[in-house]
With several copies, the nearest count.
Chain A
Amino acid sequence: MYSDKVKDHFEHPRNVGEIPDADGVGLVGNQKCGDIMKMYLKIENDVIVDVKFKTYGCGAAIATSSMATEMVKGKTVQEALQITNKAVMEALDGLPPVKVHCSVLAEEAIKAALEDYYKKQGKEPDFKATGCSHCCRKDEA
């Protein structure tokens, strides 16, 4: 059901962990629904120099978190904000339809971490992480 890329990122997730002195931390999802992502960003001169994540959730949630961290690393904040769930999915060679929401969660985790970064910097973010309103769904066997 999962692509080889997804499997690889699930099996060997990149950037797992915490950054104790992170410049931005984003927490999205909901344990009741079965998916929580927490993303830690270290930002220097507007560039994301380090990133870590922790995820509670299904295989796709872990893989998209992992891929998302890879994608933001080295990017400027503005570039990182452009990363869409679609881009994450594409980078993973696709997700089963029922797992698309996991990629949305990853996009939101980046946004939420950057929102936190803006706030910590005393800036008003001109975007808003909405978290993820959908829960994990497997429509078809």
Chain B
Amino acid sequence: MDHFVYADHAATTRIRPEVLEAMMPFLTEHYGNPSSMYEMSDVTEMAILDARRTVAELIGAKPNEIIFTSCGSESDNMALWGILRKKKGHLITTKIEHHAVLHTAEALEKEGYAVTYLDVDKDGLVAPEALEAAIRPDTTLISIMTANNEIGTVEPIRELAAVAKKHKITFHTDAVQAVGHIPIDVNELGVDMLSASGHKFGAPKGIGFLYVRGGVLPLPLIYGGGQERGKRAGTENIAFIVGLAKALELAVAEMEETNRKLTRMRDRLIDGILRDIPYCRLNGSRDKRLPGNVNVSIEFIEGEALLLKLDMAGICASSGSACTTGSLDPSHVLLAIGLTHEVAHGSLRITLGGDNTDEDVDYILEKLPGIVKYLRDMSPVWEDALKNGQAKEYELCTAIK
């Protein structure tokens, strides 16, 4: 393999060395249970306090508004179950949420809760008017993601949260793809609850948090000891809590510079792919988009095969093909923005991170068109399309090295 490009940062990221370093003492000598009385535990208790303060500051919250959880999914579940079990009522969410929200909403429906799933437009955007129209007298919670994990669309959360506020409804946002990636200030956004997951921004897998505005009082999801002020039981994963805070600190400090670079690389990728591969479209909003997200649908081929070929070329990416979604259908997000099953199967998501380089972009642009051509040449669907004039034979762009 002449080159290796990890370009699936929306799936997970590598723990940053500085983060691992910050965690190591808590995986070795500082192992005292923070709830214990002896001095040895002061170190771990303080470490959690510090981490909580750091995280709070970085998103404009107060320390006691941060509840550490074991992952983004737990945060989402806690938000939804916690509010709705407390004050039974109607939930409004969208058709493009992550399964952590969507499957929770479905489970809530089975328990008898009413749920409205808002449509999105062709770019994946939720309209504040549509939200307002869906509100019922018994609406208790609105949950709309900050940024979509597949197509990278960034939602107008401030406007959406304002609608919720006007109607005095609790507003939760799944910001798992946003925290550490785009500026997040809970007060500026006006959200009441916000979910995040560490492994999306250089912290380990298995740690997340839920921001809960003071006065908003969801029931716990995990009952037990008094950890996290009684909101989330379980002996604290101190090492990962410290790691999450460190990772967020780094991510926020470098955000502007990283995003300038990511945006440039992302645009180069999008432009290059659309230029070099015919019968290909960009999914998600072109401008209201996460800096590192590229999502295209490449017709006449299937996503899993494409990923495997890319993998063989040393490129790690992902797809919304049914073969990779864990269900009979391709990505619900791609269907929600109006793609047919056929087109959705051929989707490719490339998500860049701070460690990617311009050479990586060049390399992807060098390899991808040939792989697509190869798979099309093997595809009876392409053969058909050529025969019935739906598509035209093409040469690979000479611009490709």
Contact = CB atoms under 8 A, between A and B. Distances in A.
- Say if the two chains contact directly (CB < 8 Å): yes
Contacts of B227: 141
Contact of B229 (A10, A57, A59, A139): A139
Interface stretch (A33-41, A42-50, A124-132): A33-41
Given A139-B226, A141-B45, A141-B225, A58 B321 contact: yes
Contacts of B383: 18, 38, 54
B341 A58 contact: no
Interface residues of A, number: 30
Contacts of B322: 33-34, 135-137
B324 interface: yes
B378 interface: yes
Interface in A45-87: 54-59, 61-62
Interface string A1-26: 10000000011010010100000000
A138 B305 contact: no
Contacts of B226: 138-141
A141 B34 contact: yes
A61 to B, nearest CB: 8
A56 B381 contact: yes
Contact of A37 (B45, B305, B321, B380): B380
Interface stretch (B200-208, B251-259, B325-333, B392-400): B325-333
B380 A141 contact: no
A18 B383 CA distance: 10
Given A34-B302, A34-B345, A141-B34, A55 B380 contact: yes
A12 to B, nearest CB: 11
B305 A59 contact: yes
B323 A136 contact: yes
Given A11-B312, A57-B302, A33 B379 contact: no
B321 A54 contact: no
A55 B230 CA distance: 31
Contacts, number: 99
Interface size class of B (residues with CB under 8 A): 35 or more
A138 B302 contact: no
Nearest to A33: B322
Contacts of B225: 141
B362 interface: no
B231 to A, nearest CB: 10
A31 B321 CA distance: 11
A27 interface: yes
Given A18-B383, A58-B323, A31 B304 contact: no
A140 B325 CA distance: 10
Nearest to A16: B378
A55 B378 contact: yes
The winner among B321, B341, B345, B383 for most chain A CB atoms within 10 A is: B345
A69 B308 CA distance: 21
A123 interface: no
Contacts of A16: 377-378
Given A141-B225, A141-B226, A54 B324 contact: no
A16 B382 CA distance: 14
B328 A137 contact: yes
Contacts of A141: 34-35, 45, 225-227, 236, 326
B328 A31 contact: no
A33 B327 CA distance: 11
Contacts of B341: 31-34
B34 to A, nearest CB: 6
B42 interface: yes
B363 interface: no
A138 B229 contact: no
Contact of A32 (B229, B312, B326, B342): B342
Contacts of B42: 1
B305 A135 contact: no
A37 B304 CA distance: 15
Interface of A: 1, 10-11, 13, 16, 18, 27, 31-38, 54-59, 61-62, 135-141
5 A-B pairs closest in CB distance: A141-B35, A58-B304, A38-B380, A58-B323, A54-B380
Given A59-B305, A61-B302, A61-B305, 8 more contacts: A10-B305, A34-B322, A36-B381, A54-B378, A55-B380, A136-B321, A137-B322, A137-B327
26 contacts: A10-B305, A18-B383, A31-B342, A31-B345, A33-B328, A34-B341, A36-B379, A36-B380, A36-B381, A37-B380, A38-B383, A54-B383, A56-B302, A58-B304, A136-B304, A136-B328, A137-B322, A137-B327, A137-B328, A138-B226, A139-B226, A139-B230, A140-B229, A141-B35, A141-B236, A141-B326
